[in-house]
């Protein structure tokens, strides 16, 4: 069944390297999918192809049935697809609040008809995102002054504030302490319960087990398997590939 977000035959080469090879993937509404695979499997490249940060050599991406292949990142974001980056891409010198505000597209300015209401709605979305990520007390701090875990939550706050219904999270919990990691898991669960469809790239298999309904397993650019976490994580061949014990 075609998903809310659907990928068909997606391919990307970098010179002679096939980074993503004929990948099909469906993100079904309300289903949390984890992309799992060893380093260099093509997971981030797949996100980049979906979000328009990289143009595919071939294949298609559709969001809610609309073809978006080759469209620019902001056009795809406007359809309700938000993502985080491994390197977070925050504005270090801006405040936490302004980092979140900047993530929301300014559809209407206050001098336009309805602009005042739109601005208030944006501000409310920012405050709510800060509250849900536990960052309200840091709203006026500069992003550069945050702790590592706080920057990770700021990255999630930026997604929350957009109201996007599809979240693509690239290693969102890497390096988090236990308390922050648990808060992160709860935050994602809350979003899913509110109707968000999540796809996450995650190396921590405990987090995958806790959050994912499905795993798509990638290796060397190709999707090798897809299914329920229990089945995928019990497959000795996949686990050998994942932990680098590949047989020739």
Ligand X SMILES: Nc1ncnc2c1ncn2[C@@H]1O[C@H](COP(=O)(O)OP(=O)(O)OP(=O)(O)O)[C@@H](O)[C@H]1O
**Do 60 and 10 contact (CB within 8 A), yes or no?**
yes
35: helix, coil or strand?
A: strand
Structure tokens at 225: 């398997």
Closest CA to 32 of 167, 159, 197, 207: 197
In DSSP terms, 218 is beta-bridged to 223
Binding mask 44-73 for ligand X (x = CB under 6 A): xx----------------------------
**CA 224/CA 167 separation, integer angstroms:** 23
Judged by beta carbon, residue 19 or residue 166, the one nearer ligand X is 19
Q: What is the closest distance, in whole angstroms, from the C-beta atom of residue 76 to ligand X in the complex?
A: 18
**CA 235/CA 39 separation, integer angstroms:** 19
List Cα–Cα distances, 64 to 9, 61, 131, 180, 208, in angstroms. Answer: 18, 10, 30, 33, 25
Give residue 12's region: left, alpha or beta (phi > 0; psi -120 to 50). beta
Q: What is the closest distance, in whole angstroms, from the C-beta atom of residue 194 to ligand X in the complex?
A: 28
Q: What is the closest distance, in whole angstroms, from the C-beta atom of residue 153 to ligand X in the complex?
A: 21
For residue 246, state whether it binds ligand X (rule: CB under 6 A). no
Choose the binding region for ligand X from 41-49, 118-126, 128-136, 236-244 (rule: CB under 6 A).
41-49
For residue 21, state whether it binds ligand X (rule: CB under 6 A). no
Judged by beta carbon, residue 37 or residue 80, the one nearer ligand X is 37
Q: What is the closest distance, in whole angstroms, from the C-beta atom of residue 111 to ligand X in the complex?
A: 41
Given 43, 122, 158, 214, the residue binding ligand X (CB under 6 A): 43
Judged by beta carbon, residue 17 or residue 55, the one nearer ligand X is 17
Task: Summarize as ranges the residues that interact with ligand X (CB under 6 A).
Answer: 14, 17, 19, 37, 39-45
């Amino acid at each position: 069944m075609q998903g809310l977000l659907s990928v068909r035959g997606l391919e990307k080469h970098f010179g002679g390297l096939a980074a993503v090879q004929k990948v099909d993937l469906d993100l079904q509404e309300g289903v949390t999918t984890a992309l799992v695979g060893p380093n260099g499997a093509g997971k981030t490249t797949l996100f980049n192809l979906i979000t328009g940060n990289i143009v595919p050599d071939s294949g298609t991406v559709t969001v809610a049935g609309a073809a978006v292949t080759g469209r620019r990142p902001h056009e795809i974001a406007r359809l309700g697809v938000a993502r985080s980056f491994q390197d977070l891409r925050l504005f270090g010198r801006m405040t936490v609040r302004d980092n979140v505000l900047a993530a929301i597209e300014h559809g209407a300015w206050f001098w336009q008809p309805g602009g005042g209401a739109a601005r208030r709605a944006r501000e409310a979305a920012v405050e709510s995102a800060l509250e849900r990520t536990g960052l309200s007390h840091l709203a006026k701090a500069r992003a550069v002054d945050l702790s590592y875990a706080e920057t990770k939550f700021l990255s999630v706050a930026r997604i929350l504030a957009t109201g996007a219904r599809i979240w693509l999270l690239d290693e969102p919990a890497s390096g988090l302490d236990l308390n922050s990691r648990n808060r992160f898991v709860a935050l994602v669960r809350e979003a899913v319960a509110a109707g968000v469809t999540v796809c996450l790239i995650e190396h921590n298999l405990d987090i995958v087990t806790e959050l994912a309904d499905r795993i798509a397993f990638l290796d060397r650019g190709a999707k090798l398997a897809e299914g329920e976490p229990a089945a995928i994580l019990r497959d000795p061949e996949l686990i050998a590939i994942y932990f680098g014990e590949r047989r020739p």
